[in-house]
Amino acid sequence: MRLQRLLLVIFFVVLGGILYLPFATQFGYYNDDWYSMYAARVAGPDIFHEVYAIDRPGRAYVMEPLYILFQGIPLYYNLLAVALRVGGALVLLWLLKLLWPRQQTQNSVVALLFLAYPGFLNMPNAIDFQSHLIGILLAFLSLALMLKAFGAAGIKKWLFYAASLLTGLAYLSQMEYYIGFEFVRVCIIALIVLRATKGILLPRILRVVQLWMPYALVPGLYLLWRIFLFDNQRKTTDLATQLGQLLSEPALTLYNWFFGFVQSFLNVLLLAWAVPLSDIGFSLPISDVLKAILIGLFAAGLGIAGLWYFFKKGKVVEDAPSDWQREAFWLGLAWLIVGLIAVVMANRAITFPEYSRYGMVSAAGAILLLVVLLFQIPQQRFQVGFLSFLLFSAGMTHYANGAIHAVYWSDLRSFWWQVSWRIPQLEQGATIVGYYPRGGIKESSSVWGPANQIYYPTRIDPEKVQAGVHAALLNHDTVLRAFNGERQVYRKEIIVETYRNYRRLLLAIQPATQSCVQVIDGSAPEYSANAPDTALLLGSYSKIDDILVDEPAQTPPDFLFGSEPAHDWCYYYQKASLARQRGEWDEIIDLYEQSRAGGFSARDPIEWMPFLQAFAHTGNSEYLEELSPSIMNVPYVSQQVCHSLKNLSSLASDVTEIIDETYCLQP
């Protein structure tokens, strides 16, 4: 029996690895990771208490020890996230076995589908979502320990009760909207009472209240602290702010709550298995789509084979007792509903992928409902087909989700390695305007975060956490502020203080995946044909004076950005651009010779510009003629080349003639 349990645990671990580990080594920092990890690096891990003091102070007690252990290395957080996801599924399995000890197959299917649940798309963002996953595991554990307390006597009863209270308060310390699990607690108690008693409803209700009262300490103590003792400084997690909308606009708020609830209900119960699959599963290159399909098939095959082995030896599923079907249906429905209450009342609706995390409170209840439906299917082959589709959808979705996050991180790593080749050091106070080729930039921290990890990885001010260089988004607002010549604009990114300066902008864009990072010199801007329109408007305001060309080069930390990539065309282009800023024309010629010997050439014609200027300055007319065909194929670039080369001073007459005849002829 112990061996079977061990094998079942191994089965869950293996399936979790298949679902979540294919890209674990290729994930990095995302979104809020930038400010929290930078603050921890420069100010020490105890800074997490300041980071989370504004809304969820309990998270610091998770993030601080993890940073001490992992030192900000993304891989370790991702491995732990998978372990927590598997652990949560196994604790859920234990909880279900305490409720229905004879329904081993049904319980295992529910836990298996919870492990695979594709409606939660934040696994690659493992650093920030440690608290979410730990909170889920602790919530299941608190409910299971409550059931153990009900069945125990003497000192064991009190130990289980105390453990249930502590784990209950612990999971609520991570996420305030997890309070929906306390409604689930009431539902489980009601199920136990209804199962054990018959007769008049009122005494049974009173019995539910009686059994629940000792556990009312969990939400009671938490709400007492949250409402009356804690000063919440974040509006999106402040109870008074959220409920204030109900008082100010009751009809509109109730309308939004109702439709938000309906949307969230359908998304968690049904659409989580289809919408993410449709949205991201087929958005990859065909080779990755085929791999995702294979992973989905493998996950489905392994899941079915595992259930066959552990439970019926030849029959994957079995007929479900009617009392289990009735109980599981009503508990699952109630769990799904009450898990959404706190989310909806916080004026949130579960959508994919941005707000998928809010569905985790209700996910187990929704899956319980699906499994009841599964066991209602009359023929086994259809049961197996339905379960196989769910596992296939999960496997394909998680692979695709991982691939998208891995590509984004690969792009970002490449971007900042190129920046480090181009920019040895940045003057403190510079403001970078970045543009990534895929994925976009939603928050400025996605630019100043990596920049400061490279250029200012130590604390600047002993009294506060201040960024050394800052960032602005490449958007309409930045263009207007640059036009107006605005000076410093202060913004505190949770804990990190930034001072973006629209008079000290430095534009660094990668117009397309085939392009290199192009640092724009506002005094002589050069634009790729793929450059975004806002870059064309902002380019003349980009100042390269903040690039300290004579300072020692700063290397991106390998714990985050990995080892230095192989030197391809972009390396030579960045070094040539730096040499041009230094006025080292012979160095550019050497770089061109090295790139040509390596078989490298520009895929974005504008990137020939520093080399063309070096050829013109050094009188190398042969190279000028050699490169002209690839440039003249793109009129937008060729006109810029003509204008740039003709403005160079002290050129030889034969060079000027070649420029006129080769680059400046109008088609």
Distance CA 493, CA 496 (A): 5
pLDDT > 90? residue 130: yes
Percent of residues in the chain assigned helix, strand, coil, to nearest 5? 70, 5, 25
pLDDT confidence tier of residue 199, bands split at 50, 70 and 90: confident
Concatenated DSSP letters of 176-216: GGGGHHHHHHHHHHHHHHHHH--S-HHHHHHHHHHHHGGGG
Rounded average pLDDT over 300-318: 74
pLDDT > 70? residue 561: yes
Residues 347-381: tens digit of each pLDDT? 889 999 888 999 999 999 999 999 999 988 888 88
pLDDT > 60? residue 667: no
Between these two residues, 40 and 342, which has the higher pLDDT value?
40
Q: Coil, strand or helix: which one is 439?
A: coil
pLDDT confidence tier of residue 314, bands split at 50, 70 and 90: very low
| ∠ Cα 18 88 74 (to 5°) | 60
Residue 472 is inside which H or E element, if any? strand 470-472
What's the whole-model pTM score? 0.93
Locate the domains of the chain by residue range. Answer: 2-30+73-230+242-405, 566-667
Beta carbons of 429 and 470 less than 8 angstroms apart: yes
Residues 450-470: tens digit of each pLDDT? 999 999 999 999 999 999 999
pLDDT > 90? residue 108: yes
Query: Which residue do the tokens 């003497």 mark?
Result: 154
Rounded average pLDDT over 115-134: 97
Residues 465-519: tens digit of each pLDDT? 999 999 999 999 999 999 999 988 999 988 999 999 999 999 999 999 999 999 9
pLDDT of residue 319: 57
Taking the CA atoms of the chain, what radius of gyration do you get in angstroms? 30
